A and B are shown apart, each in its own frame.
Chain A
Amino acid sequence: MTDRAFLKLTGLLIGLWLVLPTLVIVPVSLNPRRSLAVSWSDWSLQWFQRFFDDPRWLDALTTSVVVAVQASVLATVLGTMAAFALERVTGKFRRVLDASIATPIVIPVILLGIGIYFAFLRWGLAGTTQGLVLAHAVTALPLVVHPVSAALSRYDRSLDRAASSLGAGAVARFYQVTLPMIAPGVLAGALFAFIWSFDEVVMAIFLSSPRQPTLPVLMFNSVTQSVDPTVAAASVLVLASSTVVVLLAMALSRKGARSG
């Protein structure tokens, strides 16, 4: 066996080890009985049916999408601006800034959740959708800054000079020249931010409104408080949509890398 084939096999096995436990929910969701077991003999789509019939699940889905869209837009605007600002900073200060923008990735989410919860209690934002949007947007910032910075580092600054020599002011330069060039990076960042917010459960448990839980919060409650296979159907839907969005985001960032 060649080294290359061995590498491929090892990679495949590790991949299966990572993915298989997740995929177990697919047969569970098709289980015809009211239990979280796997049935190999027969199957049904009743739990998916239930998901789309039950207003609790549908409301949670709507809340999640609304929060994720707002958080993603906010994070994309702020993150793109931050990436532009970072471009102009060099030296030690740049490293400090890079590290501070990356903190949401490094700090355990539970700590962020608790910290933000106490801050929001004081500001009256705890338990509101706006509060959750803010929290998700801030923690999604590094997911936007990273691909946008990568796109900017490949951006040829002489295009800015060309545009301004031909009569374009700063705003026109940004919208007509720079943004179309870095658009794949910005879109990738937006999608990553969307999926981050859509899937996030820890901060959502602390911060979301009790009357309007997000989908992950409802799933968490469902698993811990009852035995309802609808949660398996919800999981499959979340898994499928997240996979599509992440693949799209990855394809976009690769496109950005090529066109640079």
Chain B
Amino acid sequence: MADQTSLKSRTRWRTATRPQTSHGGVELRLTGLTRSFGSAIAVDNVDLTVKPGEFMTLLGPSGSGKTTTLNMIAGFLAPDSGRIMFDGRDVSSLPANRRNIGMVFQNYALFPTMSVRDNVGYPLRQRRVKASQRRSQVDAALEMVELGHLWDRRPAELSGGQQQRVALARAIVHRPPLLLMDEPLGALDRRLRDSLQSEIAAIHRHVGSTVIYVTHDQDEALCLSDRIAVFRDGRIEQLSSPSDMYEQPETSFVASFLGDSNILVGTFTRDGNLRLPDGTEVRCGPADAGRGDAAVAGPATVVVRPERMRLTELEATPRSGTNCLVGVVIEERYLGATRMVALDVGGDRRIVVRENSGAGQTRPIGSRLRVCWEPADGVWIDRGADRHGESS
């Protein structure tokens, strides 16, 4: 007992005397993390290593286990099994207040009875930082989120965006090596989301903490993250950089969750093409990728992003080597800079094309057009049985 107390006060002293130094980030390692609620398994044997200073986004639909994972990292929930390590130290049994983290919540969770300055100073107060020093650190953190002038307000007197900025300042004022964010922009409107996104990115660069960011918003995930972990049914479905996640989705779930996508389902042929149900064969992927390992023909799926497809008139001759289908326009959506055109290419199959909206040009419903794409823009999701295979 006595040992524990002295250890605790020593840690406090260290944080207290080197407040302005950036600690940098901690390495976070999850091994075999599992948690169920009753008979429902919320997080199922998750392994994940986050590098020091990395911005890692846990992306997924609600109920996919991302928030449960975050709550276990924070220390609000005990895992059924598995371990949570900060820089190789097992923290699985430490309570949240001993993990030295910062956290931002979707509903801000500011203390209503305290002023903005007292809210932001709260982590420093817990760490027994002297009042004079606390003041300057709080003001610096408030400056960082451009709210220095509102220090004496109560949270109820601030707008949603300002409240979340205060919450952000409060979560980083003590320079935590690990910063957790639980859908921090979920309650804000689009304009505020955009400006706070850049603020979060700037703060991450400045503070250097390792960030675990939970969201179901693909745009946030793509623009903020160093890496994204897509969650599905309590497991990590794919872990990669934003561009790899978008360009090389490994499953049709990831492809459809992250951005729009055309998912072509057919069979894999012996010469390495995809045969659609109507008999058309399309060539996919880099010229000879995967040809060798596909000895057996079987069901297969290919993903093509809508912006990689082009529409041409039927009269125009397609370049040789490109994949082309002919379809009838069934829907046109004008989106400002771009336009989404949906075509029926036969057999109830739908292809969506995103093209730049040229001046005056339209794609009238009912017109027959040719839709073409380069083989390299088709991404094999799987050749053979895909347990997540979905037709679109």
Tell me the A residues contacting B by CB distance below 8 Å: 156, 158-159, 161-169, 172, 176-177, 180-181, 259
Contacts and interface: CB of A to CB of B under 8 A. Distances in A.
B256 interface: no
A156 B109 contact: yes
B127 interface: yes
B96 interface: yes
A127 B246 CA distance: 82
Contacts of A180: 113
Contacts of B96: 161, 164-165
Nearest to A166: B123
B103 A166 contact: yes
15 contacts: A156-B109, A159-B111, A161-B103, A164-B76, A164-B97, A165-B74, A165-B75, A165-B180, A166-B171, A167-B126, A167-B127, A168-B122, A168-B126, A177-B113, A181-B113
Given A164-B97, A165-B101, A167-B126, 6 more contacts: A158-B107, A161-B76, A161-B96, A166-B102, A166-B170, A166-B171
SS class, residues of chain A in contact with chain B: helix
A176 B121 CA distance: 13
Contacts of B125: 176
A170 B300 CA distance: 55
Interface of B: 74-76, 95-97, 100-103, 105, 107, 109-113, 122-123, 125-127, 170-171, 174, 180
Given A162-B105, A165-B102, A177 B180 contact: no
A161 B97 contact: no
10 tightest A-B CB contacts, nearest first: A167-B126, A165-B103, A162-B109, A180-B113, A166-B123, A164-B96, A164-B97, A158-B109, A167-B97, A168-B126
A169 B109 CA distance: 17
A158 B105 contact: yes
B129 to A, nearest CB: 11
A169 B105 contact: no
Given A161-B96, A177-B111, A259-B112, A166 B105 contact: no
B357 to A, nearest CB: 44
A172 B124 CA distance: 13
Contacts, number: 65
A172 B128 CA distance: 12
Given A166-B126, A166-B170, A168-B126, A181 B100 contact: no
Contacts of B103: 161-162, 165-166
B18 to A, nearest CB: 16
Contacts of A172: 126
A167 B105 contact: no
Chain B CB within 10 A, most for which of A161, A162, A165, A168 = A165
A162 B123 CA distance: 10
A172 B127 CA distance: 12
A158 B123 CA distance: 16
A169 B12 CA distance: 13
B97 A168 contact: yes
Chain A CB within 10 A, most for which of B103, B107, B109 = B109
Contacts of A156: 107, 109
Contacts of A177: 111, 113
Contacts of A169: 95, 97
Contacts of B95: 164, 169
Nearest to B112: A181
Given A161-B76, A162-B103, A167 B109 contact: no
Nearest to B15: A167
Contacts of B101: 165
Nearest to A180: B113
A166 B107 contact: no
Contacts of B127: 167
A259 B107 CA distance: 17
Contacts of B75: 164-165
Chain B CB within 10 A, most for which of A163, A164, A168 = A164
Nearest to B74: A165
Given A158-B105, A161-B76, A167 B111 contact: no
A177 B97 CA distance: 14
A161 B105 contact: yes
Contacts of B171: 166
B240 to A, nearest CB: 29
A243 B12 CA distance: 50
A144 to B, nearest CB: 21
A165 B72 CA distance: 12
B112 A167 contact: no
Nearest to A177: B111
A168 B111 CA distance: 13
Nearest to A165: B103
A167 B174 contact: yes
Contacts of B113: 177, 180-181
Given A158-B107, A168-B97, A169-B97, A163 B112 contact: no
A156 B101 CA distance: 21
A209 B170 CA distance: 56
B260 to A, nearest CB: 34
Contacts of B174: 166-167
A159 B107 CA distance: 10
Contacts of A163: 97, 111, 122
A156 B174 CA distance: 24
A85 B127 CA distance: 29
A67 B286 CA distance: 89
